[in-house]
Amino acid sequence: PATRLRVPEADDPAGTVEFRDLAYGPRREVLARECGDFLVRRSDGVVAYQLAVVVDDALMGVTQVVRGRDLLGSCARQIYLGRLLSHPAPQYGHVPLLVAPDGRRLSKRDRDLDLGVLRERGVAPERIVGALAAAAGLV
């Protein structure tokens, strides 16, 4: 069977996670309201993503995490797990997702950002670097 971590009740301060995202600023989440009890081990016995990344980051001494905006909702759970394991939370920064001109999210599965495919399509390296710099707010 799957294993869930029981989070404190909404009125228990231990279940409130506050952090500052490097891109989105101050965040405050009450776990009982935002996500409730969450998986730490799947029914097939595999450690769930939330716990795996916290342990992995701690073992590698990660101090900063930059990832897509779609994972911002996982952040409070990971900080909470880190607290329970006595590991300091890294700084988190969540960046906007890259999307195609039609608004569709770009994906590895569809090889949207595969440099070989982009090269075959005739996309110049300068255009790729420029697009990434613009998306990151560097230009």
DSSP label at residue 45: S
Residues 90 and 57: beta-carbon distance below 8 Å: yes
User: Which of the following is catalytic: 1, 26, 102, 108?
Assistant: 108
Residue that the structure tokens 């090269």 belong to: 119
Helices (H), 1-139: 31-34, 49-60, 75-84, 115-120, 125-135
Look up residue 103 and give its DSSP letter. S
Positive or negative, the CA dihedral 28, 34, 35, 37 is positive
For residue 108, indicate whether it is catalytic. Answer: yes
Residues 6+ apart with CB under 8 A from 112: 98, 100, 106
Give the residue numbers marked as catalytic: 108
